[in-house]
C-alpha cells in the first residue's frame, strides 16, 4: 500500500516549485491563482526571493503548502495514495491532495493559520527545542515537573522529541534534560511555541475559519497529527484540525500506525527530505523516497 506524506515548516528553499511553474500549464495556473488569493506575489519570493523573506511565517506556510499540493496535482496518475499524512502544516497539504478540501479553501486556511500563529508568537515570546537521544517518557516527565509552560510538541521519531514553551521554561527544561542524559538539547530557530498551549489565541482564531470551510470525504484515510489515527469523516477531520495548533504532532505514532495498517512504501511530496529521514528512523526496512520536482 502506498503512503504519501507532506512536510511542514522548515523544509522551504528558494527556487522551490519553479520547475513546475515553468513546465506544467496547470501548475502555473494554480500558482498565479495563489498570488491572487494571497494578495501578494508569493511566487516571486519562492522562486527568486531571499532566505529571510521565505522564512517569514506568513510566507513559509503557504509556500510549502503550494509546492506540495501543486506537485501532487502535477504528477497525475503517479499520485495514487492508499493513505496520506502531513507533519503539522503538511496536514493541510495532505487534506487538499486527498480531496477533503479545495485548493482555494486550503490555501486560505493555511494563510489564516500562518497569520494567527505569527500574532500568537508576538503576544508570547516563546520557543522550541529538539531533545535528542532520550526516551519520550523521560522528556514528558521532566516537562511536567517544570512550573512554566513547556510541553512535548513534535514526536518526530524514536529518540527525537521537540519541546515547546515559554523562553524561561524551555531554558530550564533543556538544562534538566541534559542532566537527565539527553545527547543534545538544542534550541530551534523558530518564531514561537508551536503546538503548545501558547498557541491558544491562534487556535480560537482559526476555529471559526475551519468550521466555515466546506470539507468533503477524502479519497483515502488521512492520518491526523492529534491522534495519529486514520480519518475520513469530514466532521472528525475538522475537529482534529482545530485541536492541532495546541496539541503535539504525533509523527512517530502516525508512521507506526500506517505501517501497521499495511503501508509498504512512503513518498514525501514537497520541499526537503526531512520526513523521509524520520520514516527511516522509525523503521529502517521501510521504502521511503522524496520527490521535490518532476
Which is it for strands 2-6 and 83-86: parallel, antiparallel or unpaired?
A: parallel
Q: Could you tell me the pLDDT band of residue 55, with boundaries at 50, 70 and 90?
A: confident
| Alpha carbon distance 81, 1 (integer Å) | 8
Helix axes 167-179, 136-144, angle to 10 degrees: 130
Structure-block grid coordinates of residue 196:
503548545
Is the pLDDT assigned to residue 4 strictly greater than 90? yes
> Tell me, what's the pLDDT at 23?
96
pLDDT in tens, 56-96: 888 999 999 999 999 999 999 999 999 999 999 999 999 99
| Alpha carbon distance 108, 100 (integer Å) | 14
> Tell me, what's the pLDDT at 11?
86
pTM: 0.96
pLDDT in tens, 274-285: 999 999 999 999
Three-state DSSP class for residue 271: coil
**Closest-CA residue to 134 (of 179, 98, 94):** 179
Domain ranges of the chain: 2-122+197-291, 125-187
Q: Could you tell me the pLDDT band of residue 270, with boundaries at 50, 70 and 90?
A: very high
> Tell me, what's the pLDDT at 166?
96
Q: Are 88 and 274 in contact (CB under 8 A)?
A: no
| Alpha carbon distance 208, 203 (integer Å) | 9
> Tell me, what's the pLDDT at 124?
86
pLDDT in tens, 221-268: 999 999 999 999 999 999 999 999 999 999 999 999 999 999 999 999
68, 74, 88, 111: the active-site residue: 88
> Tell me, what's the pLDDT at 189?
80
What kind of fold does domain 125-187 have according to CATH? Answer: Alpha-Beta Plaits (3.30.70)
Dihedral sign computed on CA atoms, order 202, 97, 38, 11: positive
| Alpha carbon distance 276, 247 (integer Å) | 23
What number is the average pLDDT over the span 40-64? Answer: 94
Active site residue 41: no
67, 87, 195, 231: the active-site residue: 195
Q: One fold for both 2-122+197-291 and 125-187?
A: no
What number is the average pLDDT over the span 151-156? Answer: 98
Q: Which CATH class is domain 2-122+197-291?
A: alpha beta
Active site residue 67: no
> Tell me, what's the pLDDT at 57?
83
**Closest-CA residue to 5 (of 242, 273, 248, 260):** 273
Q: Could you tell me the pLDDT band of residue 119, with boundaries at 50, 70 and 90?
A: very high
> Tell me, what's the pLDDT at 125?
87
Dihedral sign computed on CA atoms, order 146, 151, 155, 156: negative
Q: Could you tell me the pLDDT band of residue 10, with boundaries at 50, 70 and 90?
A: confident
Question: Among residues of the chain, what percentage have pLDDT more than 70?
Answer: 100
Q: What is the CA radius of gyration of the chain?
A: 18
Is the pLDDT assigned to residue 191 strictly greater than 90? no
What does each C-alpha distance from 207 to 41, 93, 109 come to in angstroms?
Answer: 27, 18, 10
| Alpha carbon distance 74, 61 (integer Å) | 20
Amino acid at each position: 500500500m502506498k503512503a504519501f506524506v507532506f512536510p511542514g515548516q522548515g523544509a522551504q528553499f528558494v527556487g522551490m516549485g519553479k520547475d513546475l511553474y515553468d513546465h506544467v500549464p496547470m501548475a502555473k495556473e494554480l500558482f498565479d491563482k495563489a498570488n491572487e488569493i494571497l494578495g501578494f506575489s508569493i511566487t516571486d519570493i519562492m522562486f527568486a526571493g531571499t532566505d529571510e523573506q521565505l522564512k517569514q511565517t506568513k510566507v513559509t506556510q503557504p509556500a510549502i503548502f503550494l509546492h506540495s499540493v501543486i506537485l501532487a496535482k502535477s504528477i497525475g496518475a503517479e499520485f495514487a495514495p492508499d493513505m496520506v499524512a502531513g507533519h503539522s502544516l503538511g496536514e493541510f497539504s495532505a487534506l487538499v491532495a486527498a480531496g477533503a478540501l479545495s485548493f482555494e479553501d486550503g490555501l486560505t486556511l493555511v494563510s489564516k493559520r500562518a497569520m494567527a500563529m505569527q500574532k500568537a508568537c508576538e503576544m508570547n515570546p516563546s520557543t522550541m527545542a529538539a531533545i535528542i537521544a532520550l526516551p519520550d517518557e523521560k522528556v514528558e516527565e521532566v516537562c511536567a515537573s517544570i512550573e512554566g509552560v513547556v510541553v512535548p510538541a513534535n514526536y518526530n521519531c524514536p529518540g527525537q522529541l521537540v519541546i515547546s514553551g515559554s523562553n524561561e521554561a524551555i531554558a530550564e527544561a533543556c538544562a534538566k534534560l541534559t542532566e537527565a542524559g539527553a545527547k543534545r538539547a538544542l534550541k530551534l530557530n523558530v518564531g514561537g511555541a508551536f503546538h503548545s498551549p501558547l498557541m491558544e489565541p491562534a487556535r480560537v482564531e482559526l476555529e471559526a475559519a475551519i468550521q466555515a470551510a466546506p470539507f468533503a470525504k477524502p479519497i483515502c484515510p488521512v492520518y491526523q497529527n492529534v491522534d495519529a489515527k486514520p480519518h475520513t469523516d469530514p466532521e472528525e477531520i475538522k475537529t482534529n484540525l482545530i485541536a492541532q495548533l495546541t496539541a503535539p504532532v504525533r509523527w512517530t505514532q502516525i508512521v507506526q500506525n500506517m505501517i501497521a495498517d499495511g503501508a509498504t512504501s512512503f513518498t514525501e511530496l514537497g520541499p526537503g527530505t526531512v520526513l523521509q529521514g524520520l520514516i527511516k528512523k522509525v523503521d529502517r526496512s521501510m521504502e521511503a523516497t522524496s520527490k521535490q520536482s518532476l
